[in-house]
Every structure is written in C-alpha cells, then in structure tokens.
Amino acid sequence: MSFYEHVRADVLRHGAINNTYLTRFQAGEVTDREFHEFAVEFYSFARFFPRILAAQLVNTEDEAVADELTKVLYSELGDGIVKHRHELLYRNFLRSIGIDIHDAMHTPMKPSTRAYIQGMERLYSSRHHATALGASFGLENMAITMWDHLIPGLTRLKQVRYPHMDMTYFTFHRQLESEHERAMEQAMAAVGGTGCAVETGMPETDQHEFRFGMNAVLDYLEGFWMGLEGTQSGSRRSRFQPAHPSASELRGQSH
C-alpha cells in the first residue's frame, strides 16, 4: 500500500468514527437531553471551524497547498452564496429544534469539546506544514463516515420527535465531502511533488509529522464523542506527548 492508502485506512479505522456514541446516534437512540446537548456542543465546531481553516491557510508556505485549503474555506463560507454559509445553516438547524442561538453561543463548552476545538486550532496553525496538513487530512477523510452516522439518526429523530427539524446543514455537508477529500488528495500530491497523492514523494520526516497531526486531531474528535457519551476519560490529551518538534507547538508555541 502507498503512504496515502495507509493513512486513509488508518482514518477509517479510528475511534473518532467507530465508537459507541455514534452507533447509538445512528440508530436514533438518544434522549431529548442528549440530543440537545449534541446540538449545542457540535455548534462549537460549526462556529469556529472557518477560523481554524483560516489560521491554517495563513501559515501555509506552499502555494499549491494553499490553493486547496482556500477551496475548503470558501466552501465553508458558502461558495460566495451568503445563505449557504455553513454556520448559518447550523443556526437554522438549532432554531428548528427549539434552541435559542444566544443560549447556544453562551453555553460553556464541555471540557472534551473545548479540548477538541483548541486542539484543532493548535494543529491547524502548526508551523510544521505536514502536521497541519495531516490534521486537515484526518478531519476531511473521516467526514463522510461521520455524516453517514449522524444523518440516519437525525432522520429518525425528525420522524418521531422533531418534525420541524431542518437537516440542511448535515445533508449539504454530506454532498460536499467528496470535493473536500479531493482537495486533500491534491494538497498531499503538491507536498510530495509528484502530482499524484497515491505516489506521494513526501519525505519520511514529513510523513511522521503528517501522521502525528492526523492521529492527534482524530484523538481529539474521539474525545469529543466520548464526552457526549459521558465517558470522563474521553479527552485523550495525555496521549499527545511525542518526542519530536510538534510537541512544542501543541503546548501553544505555534504562530
């Protein structure tokens, strides 16, 4: 298997998208309290993700990679169509299930959610371009599987409990994810200088950094889900103590 194939397979096996919470959610087996908690906590991701992407973009030296990141950020902002801005679509979802936007914005994040958001911010703004790219790759390549867990659960909840639910944020994302995956493939190819992600010529040191960023962001995401599941050990920040330069960046020394 190529490096690209190896890391993509690692993403698809990770607990970030293979866990008890997502399995329950997919079946619609969440209480109203759990559902509202999910909706408010996930809003933190919808709100802050454009800022996280922008931080990655301004710290990216490789112009070809920056081109691909720009496509993803532009997509998050609605591809020039204001009403398609993803955070606005999420607000519509919140309103449709009876959650006030002010309340959602001012509800303190769970520790596991805060760890996820802050972890993404540090990884995406890393001075080590391969670390940031690995984090972005991990998040974009897990996304289709995540939506394929969330959307069936939301559909069931809409049928039996929330008939006015607006699911556009979720279904719209599911339609876009193949484009985001392709953007990450092109970014990897640009870094490797091969023109083909599968045949990436990424140096071994960069591959190590890439894997670090990828696994770290997925661990944070798994912690997010386990925080919603009520598992106190869900936040797995103690695992992020690698003996290489990226460790200093995760302690807040990135620019």
Tokens 């936007």 sit at which residue?
101
- pLDDT (0 to 100) of residue 174: 83
pLDDT digits (tens, 9 = 90+) for 195-234: 444 455 678 888 999 999 999 999 999 999 999 999 644 3
Q: Residue 243 pLDDT > 50, yes or no?
A: no
Average pLDDT of the segment spanning 228-245? 49
- pLDDT (0 to 100) of residue 234: 38
Range name among 1-10, 66-75, 107-116, 233-242 with the lowest pLDDT average: 233-242
As for how many domains the chain has, the answer is 1
Q: Around Cβ 225, how many Cβ atoms within 10 Å?
A: 25
Q: How confident is the model at residue 21 (pLDDT cuts 50, 70, 90)?
A: very high
**Domain coverage including residue 226:** 3-253
What CATH number is attached to the domain comprising 93?
A: 1.20.910.10
Mean pLDDT for the chain? 84
Average pLDDT of the segment spanning 120-131? 91
**pLDDT top residue among 9 and 250:** 9
Q: Distance (Å, rounded) from C-alpha 220 to C-alpha 97?
A: 27
Range name among 17-26, 185-194, 204-213 with the lowest pLDDT average: 185-194
- pLDDT (0 to 100) of residue 67: 84
- pLDDT (0 to 100) of residue 184: 64
**pLDDT top residue among 1 and 102:** 102
- pLDDT (0 to 100) of residue 185: 66
- pLDDT (0 to 100) of residue 82: 86
Q: Distance (Å, rounded) from C-alpha 218 to C-alpha 112?
A: 13
Q: How confident is the model at residue 244 (pLDDT cuts 50, 70, 90)?
A: very low
